[in-house]
Amino acid sequence: MEKRILRITEICGLGLAALFCFFNWRISRGIVLGMVFFHVYFYLLSSTLNHAIGSGKRNIGLTMLSAIGRMAAMALPLLIGILLPQYFNVFGCLAGFVLFKVAALATAMIKK
């Protein structure tokens, strides 16, 4: 199910970025940047969960490193948006993050 939601997120995000490209290209770049880093975040989260569930033993070092990597994946595009406002819009980065959650909520509501 998460692959389907990721695909919906990519299609909606790229469509939204293409729409904002005509109005404000900085927002468009911010949306794409937020989506890229959310994919990194989601990959780190799913690989950590697969490792924790798949192997019976827990590796606390790997878990902590993954948690730090996930927080960096969330903070880095916001930091880029704040430090380079001439290229990226910080609110576009936030929209790229939230887009996956909106798509997951929409698919859950449609299935009911």
Q: How confident is the model at residue 12 (pLDDT cuts 50, 70, 90)?
A: confident
Counting residues of the chain whose pLDDT is more than 90, the rounded percentage is: 6
Residue 93, amino acid: C
pLDDT for position 76: 92
Angle 60-83/25-54 helices, nearest 10 degrees?
Answer: 180
- Domain extents for the chain? 2-111
R_g over Cα of the chain: 16
pLDDT tens digit sequence for 73-109: 889 999 998 998 898 889 988 888 888 888 888 888 8
Which 8-state DSSP code applies to residue 58? -
| Cα separation, 92 vs 77, whole angstroms | 10
